[in-house]
Structure 1
């Protein structure tokens, strides 16, 4: 579990994530072959390398990443978006019965 602080962030705060493809070598983190960000403007050709949705069964936010660059030829990209999957929670409801309350989920699809 990754915990991003234990205090309140000001309204409008944006938190981003990234994935470094093929960065683990000989027990060390390296620069890898490329880095993919949740801010598409930072990705090659402004490609979207992640998905974000609300899980319909547990009301949590789920983020997934594709490690192969979407700017590569389609024959090379597997488009599975299962190379990194994690749940984002504000821990307001430990039983996961209600949606996370600290996030604006207005435009996030529910699956």
Structure 2
């Protein structure tokens, strides 16, 4: 049994990253939109699935989930677009460092 790591875009433009076991993410997304989870997404509905990936090993999925959660919005947007070049540049930047274009 593996795990899905997924990212939702909330109605306020923020991102929500979570993981779930199971065969299909559709019921989980429907539950978020129905307000079944009283947490972060409850007051930010509707939500839209913008990225997901399945991992055979649960530990791998949890590690990726933590990395994504720790990332800033531009990194998450690059991941959604599968923009590996931008993601690589953003990953190398440190707080306060100038942007690549500066």
TM-score (norm 2): 0.25
Larger Rg over CA atoms:
1
User: Relative contact order (alpha carbons < 8 A, sep ≥ 6): 1 or 2 greater?
Assistant: 2
Greater helix proportion: 2
TM-score (norm 1): 0.24
